[in-house]
Structure 1
Amino acid sequence: MNSPAARSRFSFFILLVLAFVLAQPVFAATPAAAPHKRVLFVLSEYGYWGEELVAPLQALDAAGYRSDFATPKGTKPLALPPSMDPSYVDPPLGKTVTTPEMAKKTKDLEASDRLNKPINLSNWLPMKPYLSSPTYLNDLFAYNDALDKVATEISGYDALVIVGGSGPILDVANNKRVQDLVRMFIKQDKPILGICYGVAALAFTRDEVTEKSILYGKRVTGHPIVHDYNDGHGYLRVDGGFPGAPYPLEYVLKDAVGPEGQFIGNVGKRYSVIVDFPVITARTTFDSALAGEKLIEVVAKGLRRYGW
């Protein structure tokens, strides 16, 4: 390499390499395609609040997520009439809570065929056998085998949303199949969003080992007692209703989180959404849009804490 001839040959080689490199076409790095995201919504058959479905759903639609819908017995869910009535005044708040825009969006969704064929939870998930069954042990084997099968199907979802309204009080809040579904998402480390009375389904779901609520030790929000009706809860497909709130969700949640957790009502604040992964909770109707945004941040950006 010290001789002039060697240095000349080396220089010539370097020039050839540079010429080859510079002659190649330049390609911009192609970004990896975003993985397809899929979310499961659980709705009551006794009436959901329009905005509590529409607002998070439109956020997920805009983000390109696929959404599936499920009800306890596979009947098409229906929106509560007040959630489509811009003139309806919420008694505890003393103001209208449904905008004309949201009323129209809810009516448009109702008129579409999107909710026509929801997943039937009673067909999809097994019912835990009674201890009094004469074949209890074999029934329990079959029950757990069936749950394992559903768990493999759940692996195709990225999140679970439990929509609120008065209806969930009747057929979702203490639904054993919904509780199994919640536990599956938790075991797979996937987020669960509960809105308004949909949060009750999380409070009533117990850890199978500790038998504590899955909300134990968590920071959560939910329908505060000052927002509860004194009278006149409405339901679809059932006559009458409860004289006032059937249970004070605030007290249920305070008991569920235990001394190491916290119920955060944010009374007097415009919005209340809490993320304490894997749980996301939204207080009521007008928190639904923010809840949808935070759910996307949890799924797509790894958000683990918000609002506390």
Structure 2
Amino acid sequence: MKNIIFVVSEVGYTWEEVIVPYMEFKKYGYHVDFSTITGGKPKVDPLSIVVRPIINKIGFGISKSLSTNSEIGNELQEKLNKSISIDVINCNNYEGIFLAGGHGSLFDMNKNKKLHKVILEFYKRDKKIMSICHAASTLAFVNINGVSLIQDKKVTGFPTFQEHAILKFKMIHSSFLPLPIWTGKELNKYSKKRNIGIKIWEVLNSNYAVRDGNIITGVGPKAGKNIVRKMVEKE
């Protein structure tokens, strides 16, 4: 069976950014394992599991069918509770690594040197590297030959414009404030390929995902399906 490893924050991950790509990978016949920085239990952002019938369609909250109490939600939680440490990830066992987002990833994932080393191993072996939303900032801090891994890559992630908006409307859990990193700003700083087209689409299209070689990134919670589909499609 084909295998994928997810890295999930112990500080606070976004539920939809895990459950949707998890379901999509299963649909394509992949087995998914989960990992955290220390091997501890990942923690979900409490705002991301609130059932919101309308605004879940744009990435805030979740639908009832994908809630933590749903059948697939219970299945996912069982697997998350068995997360392994990044120290024991063997990239030979996986076709790709998926970095789940959420504001918590800004605290425990994006500047973690051990995680950077794991990502580089996948990159050097030409395996798929995927990130969604705030986790894209992790890739910006991975260095290869003295420069950022994404320097010459087209990438997307949660845009600064939307970060300001959700801050204004108090849609970020207080435990993540103040934000240590602004994802959009870091992507703009480290990637030379983030042209105006990417910056426009990531604001207008909540499903937006970009593939550049073996690196695939998605703008936010609604992009999970597209990230998986871009991985499985032929280049």
Q: TM-score when scaled to structure 2?
A: 0.86
Q: 5+ residue gaps in structure 1?
A: 1-35, 125-149, 304-308
- How far the C-alpha of 1:94 sits from its partner, in A, is 9.1
Q: CA RMSD in A?
A: 2.5
Residue type matched to 1:57 in 2? Y
Superposed CA deviations along residues 247-272 of structure 1, whole A, max 9, x for unmatched, are 322121111112xx125231222421
1:10-21 aligned at under 5 Å gives the runs none
Distance 1:120 1:61 in 2: 22
- How far the C-alpha of 1:108 sits from its partner, in A, is 2.3
- How far the C-alpha of 1:113 sits from its partner, in A, is 1.9
The aligned residue for residue 108 of structure 1 is 73
Three-state SS of the structure 2 residue aligned to 1:281 is: strand
Distance 2:72 2:47 in 1: 12
Counterpart among 266, 269, 290 of residue 226 in structure 2: 290
For the 8 Å contact 2:104–2:176, the answer to whether it is kept is no
1:182 aligns with 2:182: no
Residue type matched to 1:198 in 2? A
**Which structure has the larger Rg over C-alpha atoms?**
1
Change (3 A) 1:171 1:96: closer
Question: Percentage identity across aligned positions?
Answer: 26
1:75 aligns with 2:40: yes
For the 8 Å contact 1:49–1:80, the answer to whether it is kept is yes
Residue type matched to 2:140 in 1? A
- How far the C-alpha of 1:109 sits from its partner, in A, is 3.4
Three-state SS of the structure 2 residue aligned to 1:114 is: helix
- How far the C-alpha of 1:110 sits from its partner, in A, is 7.0
The aligned residue for residue 214 of structure 1 is 149
1:156 aligns with 2:93: yes
- How far the C-alpha of 1:106 sits from its partner, in A, is 8.8
Residue type matched to 2:229 in 1? E
- How far the C-alpha of 1:217 sits from its partner, in A, is 1.2
1:251 aligns with 2:185: yes
Change (3 A) 1:241 1:84: closer
Counterpart among 21, 32, 53 of residue 18 in structure 2: 53
Superposed CA deviations along residues 163-200 of structure 1, whole A, max 9, x for unmatched, are 00111011001011110011000100011010001111
Corresponding pairs, count: 225
Q: TM-score when scaled to structure 1?
A: 0.67
The aligned residue for residue 197 of structure 1 is 134
Three-state SS of the structure 1 residue aligned to 2:149 is: coil
Distance 2:59 2:120 in 1: 37
- How far the C-alpha of 1:82 sits from its partner, in A, is 1.6
For the 8 Å contact 2:59–2:220, the answer to whether it is kept is no
1:222-301 aligned at under 5 Å gives the runs 222-228=157-163, 229-230=166-167, 233-234=172-173, 240-243=175-178, 245-258=179-192, 261-262=193-194, 264-265=198-199, 266=201, 267-297=203-233
Displaced runs of 4 or more, over 6 A: none
Counterpart among 63, 73, 86 of residue 99 in structure 1: 63
Residue type matched to 2:38 in 1? K
The aligned residue for residue 65 of structure 1 is 30
Change (3 A) 1:111 1:183: closer
Three-state SS of the structure 1 residue aligned to 2:148 is: coil
Q: 5+ residue gaps in structure 2?
A: none
Residue type matched to 1:64 in 2? G
